[in-house]
Structure 1
Amino acid sequence: MSPRTARLRLAGGVGAVVIVVATMPIWLPATNFLTLTDGVLAGIYTLLGLSLVLLIGYTGQLALTVNVTYGLGAYTTAILTVDDKLNPWLTILIGVAINVAFALVLALPLLRLQGHFLAVATLGVALIGFTVFQAAPITGGPNGIDGVTPLSIGSLQISSDTAFAYLAWIVALLALIGCRNLISGRLGRAMQAIKGSEAAASSVGIRPFRVKMMVFVLAAVLSSVAGSLYATYTGFVSPDAFSVSFTITILVMVVVGGLRSVWGVPFGVFAILALNAALQTYGPSLIPAGGTDIPIVGYGVVLIVFLMFLPGGLASAAQRLWRSATGSGGPRRSMPEIGGAVSEESS
């Protein structure tokens, strides 16, 4: 890819996200499903989705601990602002430090596993983490922690939905650009080589375990920041927000956006949030006996459909539409709006 093409793709990706975010106060209420609260959560969930794109989409590591690292970030901020009255900005950094240490300790035994062995092992960690959040006295047990201090800049408190939505998306956009640049660089090429074959990657001087550990730690950092933002936005943290099923929800969002697309993540997040709102609104009338399980059933159907018929997600579909519109049949040309995304066809 030429430098000019790379710049165009980056500008296209940034531009698409900026337009969507800047107009949220207009189009979110118009959907009759989504609110600005969903806009805030979408920014936070985008950080979580990026962590899975790096781990699963580009490195091939099916690690399912996102609910634990997300919860660690949230509980760190909640505990330190409520009990110790620390500045919430400082607690974000402390949460990152704790998650880095946690990820390093966890990576030593787990990242030596591969494939379904890694998936099962990390699923066990996810279950243990959720249980600890529910039972530990320091987390408030099943009742959680209330009264988390909101973020502020000087004397200005970031408490309104609109203000926090823009803050969350500024952080998400920086993360999107950072991840895109990482994937386009030396580390990104090493990640993709490891996904293809660890033995082949080792033969050209790449150290697979070291690269996997770096990606695992980076994913934990993204999740930690997301957790801290969630805690300061809601003002309340409880174990229900960090269940194993939540990890599956984030995974579905990433699959819908495109497992190998950085810029597809926010669109996958919005799509599933809209689906969730629609199912909660109309689901009980369609399936009266479904109860609270209706969204989970919907996620399962969406996951199967996308994996079978659109494995590249919305990003791949958008690239195909772009090629059709421009009359390009070559596999290397992709639409500018997918800034830096690598679809299954072009990888």
Structure 2
Amino acid sequence: MYNLDINIAHEILNWLIGLVGHIPLPLAGVGGGIEAKESVDIAATIKFTLVFIAGVGAIFGFGLAFAAKKFSVQMDPRIEQVRDVLAGAQCGACGFAGCQQYAEAVVANAEVKPSLCTPAGKHAAEIISALTGKKAVAMEPVYSRIMCQGDCKKSIKKFKYEGVRDCRAAVLAGGGDKSCAYGCLGYGTCASVCPFDAIHMNEFDLPVVDIKKCTGCRKCAEACPKKVIEILPGSKGVLVACHSKDKGAATRKNCQVGCIACGMCVKVCPFEAPSITDNVSKINLDKCRMCGLCATKCPTHAIVDMLLPRGKAVITESKCIGCNMCMKVCPVNAASGELKKPHTIDAARCIGCGICVAKCPKQAIDGTFNAQEVFEKAAQKKQSA
């Protein structure tokens, strides 16, 4: 049996060699003939080896070339053109894994918008629209919002952390060194992962977002172990910057600017946007009109108004009929006047909430920013930056 196996192997090798030169292979082993030679021709051996390798390589090369042609997939040339105009940051702000994936999707899928690459800007969106035949729709800019104000001066710590200055490392040490289990640790992980240098740590170890650079790519939100970063539309600027679910007394003990669930925002909001859930106020952004009234009434200043400074309401006397509606709805008593006579607005008291603008039956009041105007201003600011 052993001799038979050797003979079969010998026949196979002779057949392969025959493809590249018909050079006979000497038999060796039990049952095999042995041809003894006094010397070996090194040059011939090397030549044979090279010819053999070249032949085998040629066979596999032709096979690979045939397979590549047979199973090749034609790629739409527009994909490469779209890829060239994208920012190339691989940030994921578009919702796809990377720029290549977005380029493929926006070309192949009619539902994928051409303006999702916010880092590339409006000009890139117009080019992609022209390449794909889609209509360019302006997208409201989104920004990272830090939902915590408890810096090192306004919050307390339960121990001194001396490890690696990274929030992900610090949280491994008993959940972090802050007494508030829900607060920002302040070790700059969000700043280190931001691909656009849009986040910096201030002098009190709290991250600050530069909206001129922020693209809303979500990398900071994904990296934050405490989940205190949210990606929100630019026009939604009145927010409860606190995630603490501790009871009011515990929150007040741990942080000066934490939400104590007092319910004041619920009482004063004319649009029923805030509600108290799990010992913390939540603002329904779909209901919120960004009047900022809750921010002015919050006793701990846990609610921030990022739309400041606001415009002041101004009454056009020629249009005013003196109906007293502005006086009835103004939450800070800034409107005054006699019935059926033109009214006035006290600019020192006016907070620019826009409630009187919305309620005036004659549209005699203007001068305040609404959400759309805020969005337009934010978009203009980013384009000019």
What TM-score does the superposition give when structure 2 sets the normalisation length? 0.21
- Larger RCO (CA under 8 A, 6+ residues apart): 1
Structure with greater strand percent: 2
What TM-score does the superposition give when structure 1 sets the normalisation length? 0.23
Structure with greater helix percent: 1
The higher radius of gyration belongs to 2
